[in-house]
Each structure stands twice: as structure tokens, then as C-alpha cells.
Chain A
Amino acid sequence: MKAFLKTTVCSVVLHVLYRALKVLVRKDSRIRHEFSSFKDGFTIRITLSTEGPSVVMRKEAGRLSWIKEAEGEDLELKFKSIDSAFLVFTGMMGISRAYAEHRITVKGDIADVMTLVRMIDIAEAYLFPRIMSKRVLRAVPSKERSSLSVYRMVLLGF
């Protein structure tokens, strides 16, 4: 697959993941608990490859917000290549394994990475079919509500 197609797919999935996290910060007690450990104003950047696009999220008034651009983020996860990002965002590899395989560079405290990874693992349990989650997660977290209701809130906003 061409790099620009992979970048497009990853960007779309990353956007869905952001929206899922935004919903689940309110609707899933475990993600809410994890999110509470970030200080208000905590900014996270996820970059899809060395020269690739990135998304920036920030904790604002206890909620997760999409930021157009920010400097001095508290945590940055950068995939070394779009191909590595593609493996993760298409459910072929868990983010834990991608980190273990040195496919991601990190700027910031590893403890914050652990928190974010746990949040993403739970979100993926909602977003991916169970067969896919079982393949990429060491343990599939239980769901506190149906995936359908999460998808409805992610895509339709209610």
C-alpha cells in the first residue's frame, strides 16, 4: 500500500481513537481513573512517522480536547515509520508490542506512557472485534458498556 494511503488510514483511525477516548473518559470508570492522573493542561502528541502528521490532545477542565497545534507537549509518542503506525492502527499489533519492538520513540515520562497505553488498550477493546483484540492485547479488558453504544457516541455524538 502506498505511504499516503497508509497515512490516510492511520489519520482516520487515530481520529476515531481520539474520539473514543474522549467519550470513554466520561463513560468508562477505568479510563476516567487513568485520565485523572494527568494534570489539567497535560498535552499529548501522537506523531505517525518522523515527518508524518500528528495529533495533539490536551486535558482541559477534566475533559479530553483536540488541539490544532501546541508546543512543549508533556508527552510525545512518535512512530519511527508510517508502516509501524499502520500495524498498530489497523489492529495488527498492540501498542504495547510496538513499544517493546522499539517502533515508537517517547519524549516524556515513561510512567505517563503506561497510563496512556492502558487507556488505549481499554479503548481498543471497545473499538476492535474481540478476535482482533485477543490477537493484539496481552489481556482483553472487559467492557462496561456495549461497543455499539460507544461507536454511536463516537460517530454521532450522542
Chain B
Amino acid sequence: MMYVPSYFEFVNSAKLLSGDYALENIASEMNLLGSVRPIILSDATLEKIGSVKLLTDALAKGGMRPSSVYTDIPLDSSIEKVNEIAVIYRERNADGIIALGGGSVIDTAKGLRMLISQGGRDIMRYVGSEMLNKGQNVPFAAIPTTSGTGSEATGVAVIKDGERKVKLEFISSFLLPDIAVLDVRVLESMPPRITALTGLDALTHAIEAYSCLQKNPISQCYAISAIKLIMANLEQALRKPKDKKARISMAIASYIAGAAFSNSMVGIVHAIGHSVGGVCSVAHGEAMTILLPVCMRYNRDYAKEDYSELLLYLSSPDVYASTDAAARADKAIAVVEDFIAKIKESAPIATRLSERGVMKSDFEEIAIRAMNDGALIVNPRNADKDDILKILDEAF
């Protein structure tokens, strides 16, 4: 039965442009929001493979010329980089932001939007949760080039403080883009490994959003839709990378899962996964892939009802009906494990921490960092350092 909390909040204000010629409609939508000379943010790889040109050509068709195109964004967005781009934004008199890229580019854009709208010079002032005022209007469109982070649908930005070497979280509904754009032309160049890992990241978002403390009827609907799309399309997107239907379905799934977890938050998989990434440089999607089944087993007794319900969407009505009610949660975890194993047959991904060079000697540092990750607070089951060490051991 769907869970109705005594209180919850839900926001998903981004307008979605999804499908054929979505890029071509951005100029018109940005004009409606008051932007005629936005800055474009992207990265060097996307510039090299022609995705940035695809975007600027599409904007030109709508009569829009960007004030500048900035593609020097690294894999981990940083506060220093945001502050640097803000100077360019002001020098070039830009009046909006279009971000084309993965999580790092979009998070950088969120940081830039925050800094411009609030009027400061250093985003460190705005670290926190839900403490921002709306500020100045800065039209913002996000175009994801991977299908996993869901950053185009979230009010969260994770940006590195290069000086302190820590990642800081900014949470506010005013970080949500005004427009999210899903267009297969910028998605189909994703290599199999990225397709697999980002798809499994989206699956993790959906499962955690469905079962974490702030689950609610709306976020659970979103999570269910995301799971159905992922289970039906991820393998196909790997088998046939040019399959437009599979690609756009995965992009929609990522968007929906992002909206779900932006509201009901993510839990222990992300808390530990962020730390595994921070300490051992394991790719985020890979950390999720490795930790998801182990953490589901850890949460099992506290999220049994949720996992039991998810079996229907992770598998099929036949499997659900033929599984004894008491065994459905375990079956759901087994289905997730089998799904990951199938994906591994099509893409070079790791399913154990040891496969990515994580050492047991890293566990202590990972556990300490995970204890301080905000995601841990909304996990259905409390976890202390010893619990996290056991999870790491099981995932090793």
C-alpha cells in the first residue's frame, strides 16, 4: 500500500522538453523566460564530438547567439570554477545559462545560477539546505548528455571545495533548472560503460527514493515509472546504442528518478558511494552498482514492504504473483542482482569494490566520511561506523 506520510513537500518545477527537435525549441523557451544571450556551459569532450556545435546550431535556428561558450569544466565541478565562470558571465553580460553535459556540468551551472541570482562573488556563502532566497531571475536550461544523475530534475548541487578537498552540498528548490531538455542526439554517443553505469545510478535513485524516510505518494509514483523504464530499456540501449526509443526512455527514466529523489532523498547507497568515490576515485555509477544490492540487504527488514512492492516493477506480474508475499523483498533484491549481472555481460563494469582497486585499508576513511554524508540521515535503517564497515566488507 502506498505510504502517506504525516507531512511531506514536493517540488518539480522544471518544464520538460523531451524528444525530437527538443534542442531546436530551447531558444524559444529561453526567450519566454527573458534570456536572449545565455552563456553555454559544457565540457571539452562534448565540444570535440560535436555536441556543443549541435546545440549552437539548434539555437541559431531560433535566432539565439550565446554570449559565450565555456567548455573547460572538469569531471568534478569546483567552487573555484564556478566563481571563475561567474566573472565571465558578468563580463559578457549574459542573461541566462544553458548547460550541456553530465552531472558535473549541470552542477556547475547550478552553482553559477546560484551565485548570479544571489549577487555574490563566492558560493561558499550559500552552503546549506533550503536557505536560499529566490534572488534575481536567471533563466536556466539543462541538457543532460548521460542518463543517470537526474541533475536536470533536482534541487541539489554537489560542488567540490578544492582548497579543503571536500564536496559541499547545496540544496534548494531554486537550484532546479527552468527547463530540462532530453534529446537523443546528445545521448547516443554515450559509450556502453557510461550507459550502463548511469542507468544503474538512475535505478539506485529510484529504489532509494521509493524506500527512504521522506517517501511520499508522488515520489513513489515517479520512482515506479523510472524503474519500469529502466528495466525495459537499459539492456536494449546497450545492445543497440542507436535505438532512439531506448535512449530517450532511459533519459526520461533518469529525469523522473531525479525528480523522485530530489524530494524523497537518497539513502545509505549514496552515503557510502559518495565516500567510496571521494576516497578511492571510484566512478559514482560504479559505486552505486556495487553497493546497491548489499545495502538493500542491509535495509531489508526496515524497507521490507517497499522492496516487496517494487518486485512487481522490477520483474513482472507473473513473477510477483508466483512469489510468496513473505519472500518478495528478498526476491526483489535477487532481481536487482541478476539485472546488474546481465548488464555486466554487455559493458565493462565492476560489481565488487576490489575490482576497482579499493583496499580494505581504505574502509576506515570511507566509513568516517559516510557517517558525515547527509544521505545517511534519511535511510530507513540507522547505520553506525561498524555497520558501514560490514557493508564495505560484504561489497569487497
Contacts and interface: CB of A to CB of B under 8 A. Distances in A.
Contacts of A102: 8-9, 130, 214
A53 interface: no
B5 A139 contact: no
A78 B9 CA distance: 17
Contact of B378 (A100, A108, A111, A137): A100
A66 interface: no
Contact of B5 (A76, A96, A101): A101
Contacts of B374: 110-111, 113-114
Contacts of A137: 382
Contacts of B129: 99, 104-106, 110, 113
A147 interface: no
A114 B213 contact: no
Interface in B331-378: 371-374, 376-378
B236 to A, nearest CB: 36
Contacts of B378: 96, 99-100
B114 to A, nearest CB: 14
A121 to B, nearest CB: 9
B41 to A, nearest CB: 25
Nearest to B168: A109
A45 B42 CA distance: 39
Contacts of B9: 101-102
A115 B8 CA distance: 24
B131 A100 contact: no
Interface in B221-256: none
A96 B381 CA distance: 12
B169 interface: yes
Contacts of B372: 110-111, 114-115
A139 B7 contact: no
A135 interface: no
Interface string A35-58: 000000000000000000000000
Interface residues of A, number: 25
Interface string A79-120: 000000000000000001101111111111111011101100
A111 B166 contact: yes
A101 B7 contact: yes
A108 B128 contact: yes
B382 A139 contact: yes
B206 to A, nearest CB: 18
Contacts of A113: 129, 374, 377
A114 B377 contact: yes
Contact of B373 (A76, A96, A100, A111): A111
B130 A106 contact: yes
B127 interface: yes
A114 B369 CA distance: 11
Contacts of A103: 7
A106 B127 CA distance: 8
A97 B129 CA distance: 15
Interface string B47-69: 00000000000000000000000
A15 interface: no
A106 B371 contact: no
Contact of A114 (B7, B130, B171, B371): B371
Nearest to B369: A111
B265 interface: yes
B382 A138 contact: yes
Interface in A2-60: none
B128 A105 contact: yes
B213 A96 contact: yes
A118 B370 CA distance: 13
Nearest to A138: B382
B99 to A, nearest CB: 23
Contacts of A117: 377
Nearest to B125: A107
Interface string A117-158: 110000000000000000001110000000000000000000
Nearest to A110: B374
A96 B377 contact: yes
Interface of B: 5, 7-9, 127-131, 166, 168-169, 171, 212-214, 265, 371-374, 376-378, 380-382, 384
* 3 nearest A-B residue pairs (beta carbon): A138-B382, A110-B374, A111-B372
